[in-house]
């Protein structure tokens, strides 16, 4: 039809292949676009990529043993912990040499705390021995085996050295194992002792309670969103302000308000007692437990469910419902078969928002959750600021991230992420 | 198919009033009776209350006063889904999350028909609108005209006796509109269903309907078959609203049976048929259709009044000529003539005599 030949590359006016000219023209455009978003990229890198990357890295990183006890790590490598015999004098000597340097640099207590995560009590061993070892000379005071055992009898136990050997590598799976209630021992992977097995339970509790909160938000939010979308504009605006009102108050204030409401001497109990539904000596316990967390978090996350639902419902013209009724559907059928399916994208968006927010929520469970109503994030915060076990905190955070991504993936497979609309 | 106003119609509005805000009446005292199988169009300017009437009939709005009956039974208290009235909406309102076939099968499902019967009826309805192959598509994958057909098929698939359509062709281009106008009327007549059709396109109203109800300001101004509406408007509103109209303003000088002499504001005298003037001295607007103006005075009766007119503009339109004249101070007096071999083509600037049969010139309310 045209005089361009079907075979051979199409040429631009200057005789170069059209494809290459196009690519060149596009490249300049892309470069300019890239420059425009460069500040944003920079910001994202600083605030997301690097912190998350470093968290992922920290959850497996274990350089501290090798850095603090370099000679010991080399010497102990050939020792067989299963033999039941203590390591040779060579290992003890290497350890003392390493300790003398470490004490000078004040790094031995840090190593003690690190190993203490795996074996309680080892931290004080390091501190005590540090004070003695400081006075020794690595050559003249040899041999060290008995001296060390004198300082602390823990150095005479195979398990101590086996632990150092197990954790001598630069990377470890120990934090992740701890995060799922396992531990890495010289004999292999084992369950944590009964009383320390709390994290899996916490993970499950976090997921289940987040699901309950999301469900409660759907149930409470759907009618509100429906009203918002269907009331006359002026009333709807007023209602919208009421929905957004909580955002104007501090999260802390709102959570504390729930404390006032729910505690045993609180408003709700007082009212129930006054109405005679509850006896004065058997006031309901509604705070510092899971119930408190669910109530307060549902309240706090509700707007995140209502707003996406509302913006989706707003786009559903009322004529659909009318059409359904004119075709013979009852109010319920018209709603269920025609309106509801079209509002699902809004529910989906709200669910993702609420669920992901709640799974990582910290402040509210901390204040109203007591011990039974706390989330995994409270545990992460504890390990970051109190126990200073950052590796475990990082492992927990990483698992949380993976769980969220997996749920997101599952959601995409089941509902389809294209089915999520924010308006 | 002409139905008289009365209580024996299939659909009856009896002194129906409607107010949304409790202050103004959107529909004022509506009386209307529609015969079984009739195609009735509600025509009127925007905001005149057409949709409101339709919604009251469908059950989505309640009448503030009065009685609406369907097949002799008052339906004021019957909810919409039990009225069994098919409805085509202006934006079609096809359910976007269902396929075309599911859309059509929806009214059958809620009526609990079994599967094979449903499929059979859906197929028949799709064939009826020549959309047999499109059952598996989503509404969004159809063109405007195709969606229109599906909306029509969905309103008909459960075999309602009454179908309401609110400006169903509003979103289509002119050619498709004309085609669909034809198809809708044909379907309605073939199936023998009663149709109430709302439009503000007068051509649509005239070409499709058995009768047209012209609405203005919540009141039916005239209810008549299309030809009567065009040729014998009973009020100045209808004369102006339907078709092209030349209006001249004046005062009744004398009435003698079927002919009145009107003294125009310019002082000229003309003959007209008194329609809603009865007394000498009444202010009046006379209405003459552009194609009923005569240049050939020999065709007029002896003693007829004629007017001098100055030709302002001549437009050649192919099948017709359209001439704009200045007549009795009116600069916008249009005359349409057929393009016949002997027809004169008037030159702008020239002066001609014009006249008309008194019966074609109607003296209406001012
Ligand atoms: N839901 C409502 N609430 C309040 N007033 C309304 C409502 N619906 C319609 N009206 C008013 O009633 C009057 C008639 O409206 P209606 O929709 O019946 O007009 P219409 O003849 O269908 O006009 P159009 O040709 O523009 O569709 C208008 O003045 C309109 O403002
Ligand atoms: Mg309307």
Taking the CA of residue B163 and the nearest CA in chain A, the distance in Å comes to: 10
Please give the residue that has the higher pLDDT: either B305 or B58. Answer: B58
d(CA B13, CA A420): 47
**Which residue's alpha carbon is at the smallest distance from atom 22 of ligand 1?**
B51
Q: What residues of chain A lie within 8 A of the CB of B155, using their CB?
A: 326-327
Which residues of B lie inside 8 Å of A (Cβ-Cβ)? 58-60, 79-87, 89, 91, 93, 95-97, 106-107, 110-111, 154-155, 158
Query: Are residues B220 and B185 both part of a single domain?
Result: yes
d(CA B34, CA B37): 9
d(CA A366, CA A217): 20
Which residue range is the domain that position B299 belongs to?
Answer: 244-365
Query: Are residues B287 and B139 both part of a single domain?
Result: no
Among B97, B106, B111, select the one facing A342 at the smallest CB separation: B97
Nearest to B207 by CA among B239, B185, B238, B176: B185
Among B87, B97, B158, select the one facing A323 at the smallest CB separation: B87
d(CA B60, CA A326): 9
Q: What are the angstrom distances between the C-alpha of A162 and each of A80, A91, A115, B110?
A: 9, 12, 12, 74
Query: Are residues B138 and B189 both part of a single domain?
Result: yes
Position B304 scores a pLDDT of 75
pLDDT < 70 positions in chain A: 1-8, 421-423
Order of strands, sheet of B194-199, starting from the edge strand that comes earlier in the sequence: B85-88, B162-166, B194-199, B39-43, B211-216, B219-224
Taking the CA of residue A324 and the nearest CA in chain B, the distance in Å comes to: 8
Among A322, A328, A341, select the one facing B110 at the smallest CB separation: A328
Helix extents (H) in A15-121? 18-44, 50-58, 63-68, 70-76, 89-105, 108-116
d(CA B59, CA A397): 58
Order of strands, sheet of B27-34, starting from the edge strand that comes earlier in the sequence: B27-34, B11-18, B65-70, B73-74
In the predicted model, what is the mean pLDDT of chain B? 88
Query: Are residues B262 and B118 both part of a single domain?
Result: no
Position A7 scores a pLDDT of 58
Q: Is A305 helix (H, G, I), strand (E, B) or coil?
A: helix
* Residue A375 and residue A209 in contact, taking contact as beta carbons nearer than 8 Å: yes
Angle at B303 between CA B299 and CA B306, to 5 degrees: 70
Place of tokens 């978090």: A297
Taking the CA of residue B106 and the nearest CA in chain A, the distance in Å comes to: 8
Among A319, A329, A341, select the one facing B110 at the smallest CB separation: A329
Centre of ligand 1 from the C-alpha of residue B34, in Å: 22
As for ligand 1, residues whose beta carbon falls within 6 Å of it are B 20, 26, 44, 46-52, 200
Q: Which residues surround ligand 2, an ion (CB under 5 A)?
A: B 51
State which ligand 1 atom lies nearest to the alpha carbon of B51: 22
Q: What residues of chain A lie within 8 A of the CB of B170, using their CB?
A: none
In the predicted model, what is the mean pLDDT of chain A? 89
pTM over 0.80, yes/no: no
Position A4 scores a pLDDT of 47
- Residue A92: exposed, middle, or buried by beta-carbon count in 10 A (0-12, 13-18, 19+)? buried
Q: How many domains does chain B have?
A: 2
Place of tokens 């010991």: A72
Which of B178, B201, B236 is the last residue before a domain boundary? B236
Centre of ligand 1 from the C-alpha of residue B52, in Å: 6
CA A123 to the chain's CA centroid: 28
Q: Which two tokens stand for residue A179?
A: 């995060």
Tell me the β-bridge partners of B313. B324
Query: Are residues B101 and B148 both part of a single domain?
Result: yes
Within a domain: B1: no
Q: State which of B30, B42, B43, B47 you would mutate to test the pocket of ligand 1, scoring each by most atoms of that ligand within 8 A of its C-beta.
A: B47
Q: How many CA atoms lie within 13 A of A382 on its CB side?
A: 11
* Tens of pLDDT, residues B101-148: 999 999 999 999 999 999 999 999 998 888 889 999 999 999 988 998
Closest A-chain CA to B60: A322
Nearest to A253 by CA among A216, A299, A317, A187: A299
State which ligand 1 atom lies nearest to the alpha carbon of B215: 21
Q: What is the CATH number of the domain that holds B350?
A: 2.40.50.140
* DSSP character at residue A386: T
Number of continuous H segments (helices) and E segments (strands) in chain B: 8, 19
CB–CB of B111 and A319 under 8 A?
A: no
Taking the CA of residue B155 and the nearest CA in chain A, the distance in Å comes to: 7
* Residue A379 and residue A366 in contact, taking contact as beta carbons nearer than 8 Å: no
Query: Are residues B78 and B162 both part of a single domain?
Result: yes
CB–CB of B81 and A328 under 8 A?
A: yes
Q: What are the angstrom distances between the C-alpha of A182 and each of A123, A144, A166, A174, A207?
A: 21, 34, 15, 8, 20
Q: State which of B19, B20, B42, B168 you would mutate to test the pocket of ligand 1, scoring each by most atoms of that ligand within 8 A of its C-beta.
A: B20
Within a domain: B100: yes
* Tens of pLDDT, residues A269-289: 999 999 989 888 888 888 888
Q: What are the angstrom distances between the C-alpha of B132 and each of B146, B160, B356?
A: 11, 21, 54
Within a domain: B356: yes
**Which residue's alpha carbon is at the smallest distance from atom 29 of ligand 1?**
B47
Place of tokens 């006016």: A13
ipTM computed for the complex: 0.81
Within a domain: B279: yes
Q: What residues of chain A lie within 8 A of the CB of B83, using their CB?
A: 326
Query: Are residues B323 and B213 both part of a single domain?
Result: no
Q: What are the angstrom distances between the C-alpha of B212 and each of A131, B9, B34, B191, B235?
A: 108, 16, 11, 20, 15
Within a domain: B76: yes
Q: Answer yes or no: is pLDDT of B361 > 80.
A: yes
Among B81, B97, B111, select the one facing A325 at the smallest CB separation: B81
Q: Which two tokens stand for residue A401?
A: 């991230």
Q: Which ligand is nearest to the CA of B46?
A: 1
Within a domain: B322: yes
Centre of ligand 2 from the C-alpha of residue B216, in Å: 13
Cβ neighbours for A18, distance < 8 A, ≥ 6 positions apart: A9, A10, A11, A12
Among B59, B79, B110, select the one facing A327 at the smallest CB separation: B110
Order of strands, sheet of B320-327, starting from the edge strand that comes earlier in the sequence: B330-338, B320-327, B307-316, B351-354
Q: What residues of chain B lie within 8 A of the CB of A322, using their CB?
A: 58, 60, 80, 87, 89, 93
Q: Is A25 helix (H, G, I), strand (E, B) or coil?
A: helix
**Confidence class for position B7, pLDDT limits 50, 70, 90:** very low
Position B1 scores a pLDDT of 38
Within a domain: B352: yes
Handedness of CA B320, B324, B328, B331 (dihedral sign): positive
Which of B236, B265, B280 is the last residue before a domain boundary? B236
Centre of ligand 1 from the C-alpha of residue B155, in Å: 23
Query: Are residues B275 and B198 both part of a single domain?
Result: no
CB–CB of B58 and A338 under 8 A?
A: no
Q: What residues of chain B lie within 8 A of the CB of A341, using their CB?
A: 97
Which of B214, B236, B258 is the last residue before a domain boundary? B236
Q: What is the CATH number of the domain that holds B161?
A: 3.40.50.300
| Element containing residue B261 per DSSP (H, E) | strand B259-264
Nearest to A230 by CA among A329, A314, A300, A115: A314
Helix extents (H) in A231-337? 233-244, 251-262, 267-275, 290-313, 319-326, 331-333
State which ligand 1 atom lies nearest to the alpha carbon of B20: 4
Query: Are residues B95 and B191 both part of a single domain?
Result: yes
Position A8 scores a pLDDT of 67
**Confidence class for position B22, pLDDT limits 50, 70, 90:** confident
Taking the CA of residue B63 and the nearest CA in chain A, the distance in Å comes to: 17
Q: What residues of chain A lie within 8 A of the CB of B58, using their CB?
A: 322, 326
Query: Are residues B192 and B90 both part of a single domain?
Result: yes
Q: Which percentage of chain B shows pLDDT scores above 70?
A: 98
Place of tokens 């669909």: B180
Query: Are residues B230 and B248 both part of a single domain?
Result: no
State which ligand 1 atom lies nearest to the alpha carbon of B52: 18
A contact test, residue of B90, B97, B162 with most A CBs within 10 A: B97
Position A423 scores a pLDDT of 59
* Residue B242 and residue B206 in contact, taking contact as beta carbons nearer than 8 Å: yes
Query: Are residues B75 and B202 both part of a single domain?
Result: yes
Q: Which two tokens stand for residue A371?
A: 């011990």
Taking the CA of residue B220 and the nearest CA in chain A, the distance in Å comes to: 26
């Amino acid at each position: 039809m045209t005089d361009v030949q079907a075979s051979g590359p199409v040429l631009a006016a200057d005789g170069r292949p059209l494809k290459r000219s196009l690519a060149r023209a596009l490249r300049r455009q892309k470069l300019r676009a890239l420059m425009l978003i460069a500040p944003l990229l920079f910001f994202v890198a600083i605030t997301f990529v690097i912190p998350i990357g470093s968290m992922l890295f920290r959850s497996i990183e274990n350089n501290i043993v090798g850095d603090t006890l370099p000679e010991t790590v080399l010497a102990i490598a050939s020792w067989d912990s299963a033999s039941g015999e203590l390591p040779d004098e060579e290992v003890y000597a290497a350890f003392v040499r390493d300790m003398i340097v470490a004490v000078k640099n004040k790094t031995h207590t840090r190593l003690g705390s690190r190993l203490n995560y795996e074996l309680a009590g080892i931290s004080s061993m390091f501190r005590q021995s540090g004070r003695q070892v400081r006075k020794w000379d690595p050559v003249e005071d040899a041999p060290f085996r008995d001296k060390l055992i004198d300082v602390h009898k823990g150095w005479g136990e195979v398990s101590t050295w086996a632990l150092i050997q197990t954790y001598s590598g630069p990377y470890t799976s120990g934090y992740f194992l701890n995060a799922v209630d396992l531990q890495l021992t010289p004999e292999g992977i084992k369950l944590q002792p009964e009383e320390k097995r709390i994290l899996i339970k916490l993970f499950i509790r976090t997921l289940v309670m987040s699901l309950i909160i999301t469900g409660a938000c759907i149930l409470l939010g759907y009618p509100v969103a429906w009203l918002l979308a269907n009331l006359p504009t002026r009333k709807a605006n007023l209602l919208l302000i009421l929905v957004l009102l909580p955002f104007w108050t501090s999260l802390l204030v709102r959570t504390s308000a729930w404390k006032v409401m729910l505690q045993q001497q609180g408003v709700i109990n007082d009212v129930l007692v006054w109405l005679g539904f509850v006896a004065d000596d058997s006031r309901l316990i509604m705070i510092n437990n899971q119930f408190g967390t669910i109530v307060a978090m549902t309240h706090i996350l509700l707007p995140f469910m209502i707003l996406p639902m509302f913006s989706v419902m707003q786009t559903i013209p009322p004529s659909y419902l009318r059409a359904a009724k004119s075709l013979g559907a009852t109010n319920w059928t018209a709603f269920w078969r025609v309106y509801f399916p079209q509002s699902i994208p809004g529910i989906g968006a709200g669910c993702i928002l609420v669920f992901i927010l709640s799974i990582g929520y910290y402040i509210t469970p901390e204040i109203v959750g007591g011990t039974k109503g706390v989330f995994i994030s409270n545990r992460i915060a504890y390990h970051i600021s109190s126990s200073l076990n950052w590796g475990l905190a990082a492992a927990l955070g990483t698992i949380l991230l993976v769980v969220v991504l997996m749920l997101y993936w599952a959601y995409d497979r089941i509902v389809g992420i294209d089915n999520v609309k924010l308006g | 198919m002409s139905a008289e106003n009365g209580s024996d119609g299939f659909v009856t509005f009896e002194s129906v009033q409607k107010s949304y805000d409790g202050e103004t009446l959107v529909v004022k005292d509506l009386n209307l009776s529609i015969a079984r199988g009739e195609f009735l169009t509600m025509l009127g300017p925007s905001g005149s209350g057409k949709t409101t009437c339709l919604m009251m009939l469908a059950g989505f709005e309640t009448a503030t006063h009065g009685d609406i009956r369907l097949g002799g039974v008052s339906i004021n208290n019957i909810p919409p889904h039990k009225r069994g009235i098919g409805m085509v909406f202006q934006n079609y309102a096809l359910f976007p999350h269902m396929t075309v076939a599911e859309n059509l099968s929806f009214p059958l499902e809620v009526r609990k028909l079994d599967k094979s019967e449903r499929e059979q009826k859906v197929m028949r309805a799709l064939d009826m609108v020549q959309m047999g192959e499109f059952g598996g598509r989503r509404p969004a994958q159809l063109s405007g005209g195709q969606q229109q057909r599906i909306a029509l098929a969905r309103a008909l698939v459960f075999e309602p006796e009454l179908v309401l359509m609110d400006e169903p062709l509003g979103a289509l281009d002119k050619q498709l509109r004309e085609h669909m106008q034809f198809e809708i009327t044909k379907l309605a007549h073939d199936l023998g269903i009663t149709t109430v059709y709302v439009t503000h396109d007068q051509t649509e109203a005239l070409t499709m309907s058995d009768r047209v109800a012209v609405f203005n300001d919540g009141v039916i101004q005239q209810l008549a078959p299309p030809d009567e509406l065009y040729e014998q408007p009973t009020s100045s509103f209808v004369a102006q609203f339907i078709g092209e109209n030349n209006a001249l303003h004046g005062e009744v000088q004398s009435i003698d049976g079927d002919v009145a002499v009107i003294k125009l504001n310019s002082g000229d005298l003309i003959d007209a048929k008194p329609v809603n003037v009865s007394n000498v001295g009444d202010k009046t607007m006379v209405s003459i259709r552009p194609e009923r103006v005569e240049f050939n005075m020999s065709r007029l009766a002896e003693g007829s009044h004629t007017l001098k007119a100055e030709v302002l503009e001549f437009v050649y339109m192919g099948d017709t000529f359209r001439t704009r004249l200045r007549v009795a101070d009116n600069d916008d007096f249009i005359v349409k003539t057929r393009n016949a071999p002997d027809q004169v083509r008037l030159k702008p600037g020239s002066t001609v005599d014009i006249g008309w049969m008194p019966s074609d010139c109607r003296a209406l309310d001012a």
